[in-house]
A and B are shown apart, each in its own frame.
Chain A
Amino acid sequence: MAQSTTATLELQLRRRRQIRWQRWLGLSVPVLIALVVIVSGLLADVLQTHDPEFIDLAARLSPPVFDGGTWAHPLGTDELGRDIYSRLLHGARVSLIVVAIVVPGAALFGTLIGLVSGWAGGMTGQILMRIVDVQLALPAILFAVLMASLVGPSLTNVIVILLIWTWPSYSRLVRADVLSLRERDFVTASRSVGAGPWWIMRKHLLPNVLNTIVIIMTLEVALVVLAEAALSFLSVGVPPGTSSWGRMISEGRDTMNVAWWPIWLPGLTLLIISLTGNLMGDWLRDALDPRLRNVR
């Protein structure tokens, strides 16, 4: 009797260990990919085999090594003979810079607006939420084209546009959270003993919405990477002479029917990266806050 109980217990334990193992595997693959991208972005200058913008017409459209090419260009070259492997590395750097500025920046600003509009309510809250509506009614891509045509395409442009594009998603969710938090006992109690609005926001509201913010930030990474690529694809993103995945796709378009690699490799890279971002976001959301499952 005692023996069989120990046996079932052991079986249960083993199954639980197995589930945990699977869950960690599901997380570790995306984390590994993310690390690879970060390292290749940071060390692009060291890891590159060629200058990413060096034009070598003699070597134009050479195939990748697994499709009959040589190790001189491991992932082949594009229609101007530029090395695709080196360009992908530098494309990772552009994406990394954009994500590193846009995601925390939008989170900071969006959270602040969400906190204030949720807490203040009334007129202030209404006005702030109408600003969010304005942003929703103005397709960001059009705004990007407008800015690019006025001041020329640049990385700064991309960052500004994407900041404008992404902050409202934080505001809306934070505001919704704050609206319900402000009626809770610990907040009203704090108010009744004379706590000021900033103190309450910092000590009671912010810690309670932090989970939401972190989850949206993770999910926004993929969105921002894709958006940067879309802008560069429309040639209103990074300027010519900069390697960006979106730009590479747009350039590979012309030789699409003679060479698959100039358009497939950056496209697949984009797909894998945004897949990674989404998987990590989903994992984090399930771990921290199952309530948010229907956000997107």
Chain B
Amino acid sequence: MQFWNYLIIRLIQAVFVTLLVVTIVFFVSRSVGNPEETMLPPLTTTTEDKERFRELLGLNDPLYVQYGNFLLDLVQGDFGTSWRGGGTSTLDSIGDRALNTLELGVAGVVFAIVLAVPLGIIAALKRGTSVDWLARFVAVVGQATPSFWLGLMMIFFFAVELGWFPTGGAKEGFRSLILPAIALGLFEMVAIMRLTRSGMIEVMDTDFVRTARAKGLSERTVIWRHGVRHALLPVVTMLGLSLGRLIGGTVIIEMVFAWPGVGRLIIDSILKNDFPMVQAAIIVLAASIALVNLVVDVSYRFIDPRIRAGAV
């Protein structure tokens, strides 16, 4: 029962956070943007046209009326209609884009984990050897490399010079996913690897690992059942933060690799003053970040019983 209470409270918090983000975007964009200046042809448009345009979009209503209408539509599942492209529903255009961003984000996380966890474990077990040094070198340099610069360099070497991968876009399926996923995931990979390494070193030094060895368990059992399982606990927490950061980080990677995701959609829509599209896309983005954080917090309670015993 206590669990359900906790879940409901967290859900309400997630909705609240999303709503607040959208509210900020709503008011900031409307208080300064002038859609009739950017969306109508500049020379042939008369003042009456501009007035009709504003009236049509409801921009002449007071701000709080606009905001009220927006919220009313939202609770009815209507995320608004794009002001461009012949009045398509914003949610339709976001659907595909969101899937692309999700694909990129998941690929980034998978790349990070698959490389980071084994490397971290090996580096910890073979502390002080060349493997450890290599891992630490990769960590220090990787953490300092700007992701957009790395992306450009990879495009230059692997796409332009060697021709192994496409230079951008998402048309070639898996092949076009590899470079952006690496550029996106490198920073998180380094963070996860450092965490795995230090966690592993700490755990292998504890009494219960010594006991396990004294009991005569095989080294493999000691490492996997006693060591890795404990070392990975903080990694799971970290993963939640990583996912949130990755979703934000996709924006710049999407720009570098011309990846058709939500981030680029938002930037394009902001530049064209397409407010409904910006709002809807940011709702989707903020809600998914809030949801990811929620899932991580909840799953952590299952993995680590000590947290379940404590208070919320």
Contact = CB atoms under 8 A, between A and B. Distances in A.
A113 interface: no
Interface residues of B, number: 52
Nearest to A151: B32
By CB atoms of chain A within 10 A, which of B33, B195, B270, B293 has the most? B270
Given A130-B16, A146-B29, A257 B160 contact: yes
Nearest to B288: A137
The DSSP consensus for interface residues of chain A is helix
Given A139-B285, A145-B267, A279 B140 contact: yes
A268 to B, nearest CB: 9
A293 B255 CA distance: 33
B140 A278 contact: yes
Given A151-B32, A278-B140, A279-B140, A139 B17 contact: no
B144 interface: yes
A230 interface: yes
B280 interface: no
Contact of B263 (A142, A149, A256, A279): A142
Interface stretch (B65-73, B75-83, B219-227, B244-252): B244-252
A249 interface: yes
Interface in A233-291: 233-234, 246, 249, 253, 256-257, 263, 267, 270-272, 274-275, 277-279
B191 A296 contact: yes
B145 interface: yes
A138 B263 CA distance: 12
Contacts of B141: 271, 275
Given A130-B13, A151-B32, A278-B140, A146 B149 contact: no
Nearest to B238: A294
The DSSP consensus for interface residues of chain B is helix
Contact of A137 (B153, B194, B252, B286): B286
Interface in A146-171: 146-147, 149-151
A256 B144 CA distance: 22
A147 to B, nearest CB: 8
A141 interface: yes
A226 interface: yes
Interface string B165-191: 000000000000000000000000001
Contact of A141 (B17, B20, B251): B251
Given A130-B13, A150-B28, A249-B149, A294 B198 contact: yes
A137 B17 contact: yes
A134 B25 CA distance: 12
14 contacts: A130-B13, A136-B244, A136-B293, A137-B289, A137-B293, A142-B251, A142-B266, A146-B25, A234-B267, A249-B146, A270-B149, A271-B149, A275-B141, A294-B199
